[in-house]
Amino acid sequence: MIGLGIATTVLLAATTSVTPLSNDSFGAFLGSGAEGVDRAELLEHWLGGTEMTVGRTYLPGDLWSNIEGRPEFLAPWAGWRQEKDDRLFVLNVPMLERNEDDLPDHLVGQLLRSGASGSYDQHFRVLGERLVAAGLADAVLVLGWEMNGTTYTHRCAPDPEAWKRYWRRIVTTMRAVPGQDFRFDFAPNRGTDAIEWDRCYPGDDVVDIIGMDTYDQPPGETFDEQISQPYGLQFHVDFAAAHGKPISFPEWGLFRNGDNPEYMRRMLEWIDAVQPVYHSISDYCPHGVWQCVQNPASSEVFRAALSATPPGSGAGGPGRGPRPGEDGDDGAGDPGRGPRPGDG
């Protein structure tokens, strides 16, 4: 990992040219279920043969029975992971059911305290056993992601101390599963949001990776502001270094600032400078670049940086392959993809 002062200096001097990305731990969220696996090959073709080495999905957070990881849900991802040794499977794991039901803070606090006392241990034991049985014992688990925000029931602000105890209990339970080699990724939103995210950090002994979900939206109108803002990109790398942890970007992409090629260029340069364990763009509208054709300028920056062969002449360049939405669809309604949890 490059020291932070160096990384910032490099990026503040960034030009408008697109430099090929050297970090090959690249992934994209392409769909939650089997469709996400099926689309990986098409994305690779669009990138001229660049391999997607990181597959990422979310466990549904509606019911405990889904958070336990149904075998039929895990099977396509297990098949993808086992095809090549260098692949990494990343799974977002909700900490509570009814995870997007807009529950009030007082109820969330009660649920967190119940979890911290062991009421939900059995669900995470089952999940761990099912992951091992499926051949996903080395999965990276993004547990309780974006805990510093307000979107999810598994948020931290209603009771930070209970949240930390509950995280520790989940990790202890899952690490006790025979055959597991899980890594746990603590991944807040960029910025302060509802609570300073270091107040939710559960301890070095129960965290393997310190991630960050970061989209092109306020706070942080420019990329430099996204770097320097309180609890922003710079703080993220500093905090991880202080705790001796590698970093990740489980979710990133465009958002409220629209089709912004400068953001795309700068974010890819940041990834190259700080060398995360993995990064995964959220590839659907409004965040994405392949399944969302409403971001053409950013799409070309992304493709130029990650393509195995530079885009050539003609309609799409060598090895281009089809993109969802090029038959007249805008990419926002691609069947089976569904929204990212929390997008409403």
Q: Is residue 286 part of a domain?
A: yes
Which residue of the set 44, 68, 146, 196 is catalytic?
A: 146
| Residue 123 maps to a domain | no
Q: Clarify whether 146 is annotated catalytic.
A: yes
Domain count of the fold of the chain: 1
Euclidean distance between CA atoms 37 and 158, whole angstroms: 36
In a domain, 39, yes or no: yes
Q: Is residue 172 part of a domain?
A: no
Element (DSSP H or E) covering residue 280: strand 279-282
CA geometry: angle 192, 198, 200, nearest 5 deg: 100
Return the DSSP state at 213. B
Tell me whether residue 151 is in a domain.
Answer: no
Residue partners of 315: CB distance under 8 A and separation at least 6: none
Angle at 117 between CA 199 and CA 243, to 5 degrees: 30
Q: Is residue 77 part of a domain?
A: no
Can you spell out the DSSP letters for 38-49? HHHHHHHHHTTT
- List the pLDDT tens digit at each of the 344 positions of the chain: 223 333 333 343 344 466 666 667 999 999 999 999 999 999 999 999 999 999 999 999 999 999 999 999 999 999 999 999 999 999 999 999 999 999 999 999 999 999 999 999 999 999 999 999 999 999 999 999 999 999 999 999 999 999 999 999 999 999 999 999 999 999 999 999 999 999 999 999 999 999 999 999 988 889 999 999 999 999 999 999 999 999 999 999 999 999 999 999 999 999 999 999 999 999 999 999 999 999 999 999 999 999 986 555 333 433 345 556 544 333 333 323 334 444 43
Supply the range of the domain harboring residue 263.
1-8+21-52+208-336
| pTM: predicted TM-score of the whole model, two decimal places | 0.88
The catalytic position among 44, 68, 251, 269 is: 251
92 in helix, strand or coil? strand
The DSSP symbol for 226 reads H
Would you say residue 295 lies in a domain?
Answer: yes
CA-to-CA distance for 142 and 154, rounded, in angstroms? 12
Q: Is residue 256 part of a domain?
A: yes
Give the CA radius of gyration of the chain. Answer: 19
Active site residue 97: no
